[in-house]
């Protein structure tokens, strides 16, 4: 996710100081904190933070750099081919994760990490060990480590795996800092050395657990790991100052580092108005009521704490650390995730390929001319069986390979995505809608070739739907087809949805990922039977929408129906009803424009809605 730039120099100073403090805590005990996500492009700012981290590590702490597309045998370990062939028996080779035991793994371009690799890394962070059961070997290797995930993503689609991010205590966004914002480290190596001697020896603190749990609930953080990370952070901050017990400023800093980046709501949403007439002020006691407790009873009960579990100062500090516009973007992201809609101009789905694409390992197969032999994996599969095969009558000194040992390469490539614009060309506003959609299509096509995207346009008016622009990546062809598209007439919404479904299914049969963007006010007045009336036309549109939902076509409904200023209604609009039936994200935008439509289709809708 792209975060808004800090509004003041003081905010930038705080971001940099917090990032330095976070990497210091990771260097203090990588396994205890799991690691940190650093969102920043390659440059002097990120290099300075990594240099600070390396300077805080002990000489014996292993630090390994892990490519985001690393193979399993290098990540987890496996069979040492040279040693196995020489010894005549399986010899285990350690992987990168076990080599980093007690240290840190740095992952560049973590936002592009393969899901399988992310799940492997997540499991190691959970258990602290690597379990090997492959290539005829079985072993368990210790791997207590932390992760520095370098996130270079540009948009909401490019982000570190949520499961992996939950296992890392800290997150920092340095994308808006410059070289001028870099300052000296806030933690010295001497303080870290002293803290290592005492951190982790303290008994669990019930007060810290209570406070951090209350903070997590107040800010909508549901992860128990976040609470434990916050408690450990507060204790580590106290250890850096040479203290055993965490104080209020340690709690405030820990909440700012761990709780604030995970916040999904503000505590103001749960606070009640102090002036509510339904409640009796605590300092006023009705005259007819007598105090129920005597002085003797008060002596038996322990005195209440002077402050509640959440101090207003801590709440304000955490709120100030929440990035601007974070909550709005979280709501939009949740809506897109629920509907299964991705940015139409973004990545297509993954598909397996036989002969081309990015290598993703190997599988058992045969040499039939349709696949490529994976020589190393074939030898690895054959190596454990060499002692038995050499005892056969026809044994030779060379490596003996059978058909069961054959391994062929696996490839993966992106599917091409198709964005299908389904535009209501009826009514008096049709010309304006068509003009803006034409502009959005041209903007998308300008970027489509490099991203393997196709764009199509269907308009519906009168009693039919027309395929104005078949799926294409040609900007010249698009401009020629878009010129002079007519508008006006009735609204055959059901017919238009059926036309969009037909193109989407045809695109899916061709191996592409279809996405539907519907622009309409939802006021259907022409059904499958043109004489059936408005009510039946809307019912037909609901039927067509249900059909789209049945085929699980990702869709975005842009509601162009006009809204009167200040008008409120509990009843959803016609377009909202259709969007709900088809499982689409519904956005009420009475006056869309070309650039705004492109941003919506690309998935970056948070800024548009916030504006």
- What is the tens place of the pLDDT at every residue in 374-427? 777 787 778 777 777 777 766 665 677 888 888 887 766 666 788 888 888 887
Rounded distance between C-alpha atoms, residue 110 and residue 428, angstroms = 49
**Among the listed residues 601, 595, 494, 504, the one whose alpha carbon sits nearest the alpha carbon of residue 551:** 504
156 lies in the same domain as 48? yes
* Confidence at residue 244, expressed as pLDDT on a 0 to 100 scale: 83
**Angle, alpha carbons 44-47-49 (nearest 5°):** 110
**What are the residues facing 588 on neighbouring strands?**
559
Side-chain half-sphere CA neighbours of 203 within 13 A: 2
Element spanning 419, H or E: strand 417-424
Radius of gyration of the chain, Cα coordinates, nearest whole angstrom:
30
Work out whether strand 453-461 and strand 358-364 pair parallel, antiparallel, or are unpaired. Answer: unpaired
394 lies in the same domain as 315? no
54 lies in the same domain as 178? yes
Q: Mean pLDDT lowest for which of 157-166, 264-273, 301-310, 460-469?
A: 301-310
Q: Domain for residue 113, yes or no?
A: yes
Rounded distance between C-alpha atoms, residue 530 and residue 534, angstroms = 9
* Confidence at residue 566, expressed as pLDDT on a 0 to 100 scale: 45
Mean pLDDT (whole number) for 553-581: 74
494 lies in the same domain as 471? yes
143 lies in the same domain as 5? yes
- The answer to whether residue 586 scores a pLDDT higher than 90 is no
- The answer to whether residue 335 scores a pLDDT higher than 70 is no
588 by Cβ neighbours in 10 Å (0-12 / 13-18 / 19+) ranks as middle
* Confidence at residue 286, expressed as pLDDT on a 0 to 100 scale: 45
Residue given tokens 């020629």 in the structure block: 480
Q: Give how many domains the chain has, as a whole number.
A: 4
Q: What confidence tens digit (pLDDT) does each residue in 186-225 have? A: 888 888 988 888 887 555 678 888 888 888 888 888 889 9
Mean pLDDT (whole number) for 124-140: 84
Side-chain half-sphere CA neighbours of 85 within 13 A: 12
Q: Domain for residue 294, yes or no?
A: no
Residue 602: both structure tokens together: 């690309």
Domain range spanning residue 66?
Answer: 1-186
Average pLDDT, the chain: 76
497 lies in the same domain as 539? yes
439 or 352, greater pLDDT: 439
CATH code of the domain containing 253: 1.10.8
Q: Mean pLDDT lowest for which of 93-102, 295-304, 481-490, 596-605?
A: 295-304
Mean pLDDT (whole number) for 459-466: 88
598 or 89, greater pLDDT: 89
169 lies in the same domain as 244? no
CATH code of the domain containing 474: 3.40.50.410
Mean pLDDT (whole number) for 348-366: 61
CB atoms within 10 A of CB 338: 10
Q: Domain for residue 378, yes or no?
A: yes
- Indicate the pLDDT class of residue 5, thresholds 50, 70 and 90: very low
- The answer to whether residue 343 scores a pLDDT higher than 50 is no
423 lies in the same domain as 485? yes
Predicted model pTM: 0.57
CB 358, CB 412: distance < 8 Å = yes
- The answer to whether residue 570 scores a pLDDT higher than 90 is no
* Confidence at residue 336, expressed as pLDDT on a 0 to 100 scale: 40
167 lies in the same domain as 202? no
Q: Domain for residue 135, yes or no?
A: yes
Q: Domain for residue 87, yes or no?
A: yes
Rounded distance between C-alpha atoms, residue 561 and residue 555, angstroms = 18
- H-type helices in 128-223, by residue range? 162-166, 189-198, 206-218
**Among the listed residues 170, 338, 340, 329, the one whose alpha carbon sits nearest the alpha carbon of residue 265:** 329
């Amino acid at each position: 996710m792209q975060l808004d730039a800090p509004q003041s120099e003081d905010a930038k100073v705080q971001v940099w100081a917090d990032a330095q403090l976070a990497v210091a805590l990771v260097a203090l005990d990588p396994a205890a904190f799991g690691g940190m996500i650093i969102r920043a492009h390659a440059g002097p700012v990120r290099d300075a933070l990594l240099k600070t981290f390396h300077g805080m590590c002990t000489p014996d702490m292993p630090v390994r750099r892990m490519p985001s597309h690393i193979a399993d045998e290098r990540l987890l370990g496996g069979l040492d081919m040279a040693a196995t062939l020489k010894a005549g028996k399986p010899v285990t080779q350690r992987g990168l994760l076990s080599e980093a035991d007690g240290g840190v793994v740095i992952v560049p371009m973590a936002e592009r990490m393969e899901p399988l690799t992310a799940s492997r890394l997540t499991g190691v962070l959970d258990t602290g060990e690597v379990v090997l059961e492959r290539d005829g070997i079985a072993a368990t290797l210790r791997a207590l480590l932390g992760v520095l995930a370098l996130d270079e993503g540009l948009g909401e689609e490019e982000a570190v795996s949520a499961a992996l991010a939950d296992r890392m205590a800290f997150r920092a966004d340095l994308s808006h800092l410059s070289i001028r914002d870099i300052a000296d480290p806030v933690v010295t190596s001497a303080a870290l050395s002293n803290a290592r001697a005492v951190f982790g020896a303290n008994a669990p603190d019930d007060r810290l657990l209570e406070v951090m749990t209350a903070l997590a609930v107040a800010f909508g953080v549901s992860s128990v790991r976040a609470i434990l990370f916050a408690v450990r952070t507060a204790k580590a901050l106290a250890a850096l100052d040479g203290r055993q017990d965490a104080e209020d400023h340690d709690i405030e800093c820990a909440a700012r580092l761990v709780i604030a980046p995970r916040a999904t709501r503000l505590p103001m949403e749960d606070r009640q108005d102090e002036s509510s007439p339904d409640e009796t002020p605590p300092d006023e006691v009705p005259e007819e009521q007598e105090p129920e407790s005597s002085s003797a009873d008060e002596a038996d009960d322990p005195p209440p704490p002077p402050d509640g579990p959440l101090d207003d100062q801590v709440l304000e500090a955490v709120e100030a650390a929440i990035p601007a516009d974070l909550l709005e973007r979280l709501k939009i992201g949740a809506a897109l995730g629920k509907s299964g809609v991705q940015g139409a101009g973004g990545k297509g789905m993954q598909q397996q390929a036989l002969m081309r694409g990015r290598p993703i390992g190997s599988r058992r197969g045969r040499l039939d001319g349709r696949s490529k032999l994976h020589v190393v994996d074939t030898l690895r599969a054959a190596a454990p069986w060499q002692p038995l095969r050499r005892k056969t009558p026809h044994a030779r000194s060379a490596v003996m390979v059978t058909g069961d040992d054959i391994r062929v390469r696996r490839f993966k490539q992106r599917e091409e995505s198709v964005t299908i614009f389904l535009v209501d060309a009826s009514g008096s506003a049709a010309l304006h809608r068509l003009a803006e959609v034409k502009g959005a299509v041209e903007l998308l096509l300008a970027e489509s070739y490099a991203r393997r995207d196709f764009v199509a346009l269907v308009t519906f008016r009168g009693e039919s739907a027309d395929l104005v622009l078949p799926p294409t990546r040609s900007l010249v062809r698009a401009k020629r087809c878009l010129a002079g598209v007519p508008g006006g007439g009735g609204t055959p919404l059901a017919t238009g949805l059926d036309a969009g479904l037909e193109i989407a299914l045809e695109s899916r049969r061709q191996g592409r990922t279809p996405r539907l963007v519907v622009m309409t006010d939802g006021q259907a007045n022409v059904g499958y039977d043109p004489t059936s009336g408005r009510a039946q036309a809307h019912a037909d549109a609901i039927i067509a929408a249900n059909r789209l939902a049945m085929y699980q076509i990702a869709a975005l409904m842009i509601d162009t129906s006009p809204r009167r200023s200040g008008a409120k209604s509990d009843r959803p609009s016609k377009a909202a009803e259709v969007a709900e039936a088809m499982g689409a994200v519904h956005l009420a935008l009475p006056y869309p424009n070309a650039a705004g439509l492109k941003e919506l289709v690309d998935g970056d809708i948070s800024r548009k809605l916030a504006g």
